[in-house]
Amino acid sequence: MKEQDQGRSPDVQDSQDRERFERLVLPYMDAAYNLARWLLRNSHDAEDVAQEALLRALRFIGGFHGEDARAWLLRIVRNTCYTWLEKNRPADLMTEFDEEAHSQTTATPETLAIAAGDRERLAAALGGLSPRFREVLVLREIEGCSYREIAQIISIPIGTVMSSLARARHQLQRSLTGAAQKEAAREL
Amino acid sequence: MSCEQTRLILHAYFDSEFDAVRAAEFEGHLQDCAECMAALETQKLLRDAIHRSGLYERAPVSLRRAVRSQFLAGRESITTARFSSWRWLSAAAAVAIVAVAAWFVMPVLRGPSQELTLAAEIVDAHLRSLQAGHLTDVASTDQHTVKPWFDGKVDFAPPVRDFSDQGFPLLGGRLDVLGGRTVAALVYGRRKHYVSVFVQPTNEEDHPPKSGSLRGYAWSHWRNNSMDYWIVSDTSPADLEALRRLLAQ
């Protein structure tokens, strides 16, 4: 993929492609970076991978005839991120959430409210979820995508979007209250 | 409906993915089921916390620049000042319109100056904010709500005032990134238009407003009392100037 990228200079890109890229895709540069940043959990890698994804988007824009350029771009970003993770950090893709370790059933809404109100703790809990759960939450709650868009980006049925979100939210909640309770126990 | 089922479809209801009929049906269930109601409240609490935390990671300036310079070299008018012919026409028209407004300070269109590069960034930032859900991180017409929201998020106190009486209601605020720095962005309404005001502290000398227009958006930039202000909108340059005077008071 890399060689191909370098072999085809952007200079030879059809100017119509560039015009469409600038008009349809560039407004979503934040969305692209945001997803890459959350999937890779590192701003330097996110910048490299987002750039690579944007380059791919420019190359493939001739084949894009849909209406939802954001979902189209985010699908490319997501695929680029997973390819990158497989190659550079395969362990990230193995980390399945340990439900037992995090199952705390005694958390009250108050505990949750306090834990979730702390930005760092919330970001850490979200970052600690498995990539599959992290991405649905980021797309739904931070990027504001609909189920249909998420289904398109991740290539899963709409019904699976709903069940993934349900499980992801459940785990985020447990992770937050679990961390809060551990902290409270340390302070005692 | 079994409770296990409703626990799952509660999410579709919560995410507004139901049509009106199914939503009404589900609301009927909520009336009778305290557990589902409590589960829904928990979801609301989580969502509010996520939205309040400003977890959106905006593209850094370096990425923006890299993409512009690498992919769009040769057609980007702002950083290279190489205008294609139709762009020359529209830019010339924009300059002419602005120049006619006699009270307006002449736009600085001297070429690829730093001001123009920044103006392009400001217009981009304003456009980004107009995408769904990004206009404000804190939506409030109350300056006493918006001002404290910035505490701890930026290392300065941006001047936050509401100008509803003068026709520029304060709509809220958000964080944005300009030139690699986190800045405070205030959003004002003007009839059906939005005005973004970007504020950051500066060590540089005060300077009077410089103004211009880019891709149909009017902008103005000045420094006053160690604060650097950029305002941008698709409203008329006269409106923009009126707001600038209010902010400068």
- The DSSP string of chain A is -HHHHHHS-GGGS-HHHHHHIIIIIGGGHHHHHHHHHHHH--HHHHHHHHHHHHHHHHHHGGG--SS-HHHHHHHHHHHHHHHHHHHH-HHHHH----HHHH------HHHHHHHHT-HHHHHHHHHHS-HHHHHHHIIIIIS---HHHHHHHHT--HHHHHHHHHHHHHHHHHHHHHHHHHHHHHH-
Q: Does B201 touch chain A (CB under 8 A)?
A: no
On the question of pLDDT at A1 being above 50, the answer is no
> Do B70 and B41 belong together in one domain?
no
Residue of B nearest to A172 (CA): B46
What would the mean pLDDT of B123-131 be, rounded to a whole number? 77
| Domains in chain A: boundaries | 2-92, 96-187
Instruction: Report CB contact under 8 Å: A142, B67.
Output: no
Residue of B nearest to A57 (CA): B71
> Do B162 and B228 belong together in one domain?
yes
Q: What is the ipTM of this complex?
A: 0.83
Residue of B nearest to A148 (CA): B17
Closest CB to B46: pick one of A51, A123, A173: A173
Q: Are B137 and B228 in contact (CB under 8 A)?
A: no
> Do B87 and B134 belong together in one domain?
yes
Domain count, chain B: 2
In tens, the pLDDT along B66-77 reads 888 877 664 433
Amino acid at A53: A
Tell which wins on pLDDT, A97 or A177. Answer: A177
What would the mean pLDDT of B150-174 be, rounded to a whole number? 87
Range in A60-74, B40-54, B211-225 with the lowest mean pLDDT = B211-225
Query: CA-to-CA distance for A86 and A81, rounded, in angstroms?
Result: 9
Give the model's pLDDT for residue B99. 47
> Do B105 and B41 belong together in one domain?
no
On the question of pLDDT at B88 being above 70, the answer is no
Q: Decide: helix, strand or coil at residue B178.
A: strand
For chain B, percent of residues with pLDDT exceeding 70: 79
Chain B contacts in chain A segment 7-26 (CB below 8 A) = 10-11, 13, 15, 18-19, 21-22, 26
Report residue A179's pLDDT band, with 50, 70 and 90 as the boundaries: low
Provide the residue range defining the domain that includes B101: 61-248
Query: CA-to-CA distance for B213 and B106, rounded, in angstroms?
Result: 10
What would the mean pLDDT of B3-12 be, rounded to a whole number? 82
Using a CB-CB cut-off of 8 Å, the residues of chain B touching A105 are none
Tell which wins on pLDDT, B88 or A101. Answer: B88
On the question of pLDDT at A185 being above 80, the answer is no
Q: Does B155 touch chain A (CB under 8 A)?
A: no
Q: Does B42 touch chain A (CB under 8 A)?
A: yes
CATH code assigned at B124: 3.30.200.100
> Do B161 and B73 belong together in one domain?
yes
Q: Does A142 touch chain B (CB under 8 A)?
A: yes
> Do B107 and B132 belong together in one domain?
yes
Architecture of the A96-187 domain: Orthogonal Bundle (1.10)
Instruction: Report CB contact under 8 Å: B63, A169.
Output: no
What would the mean pLDDT of A42-58 be, rounded to a whole number? 95
Residue of A nearest to B62 (CA): A47
> Do B45 and B145 belong together in one domain?
no
- The highest-level CATH class for domain A2-92 is mainly alpha
Query: CA-to-CA distance for A79 and B196, rounded, in angstroms?
Result: 34
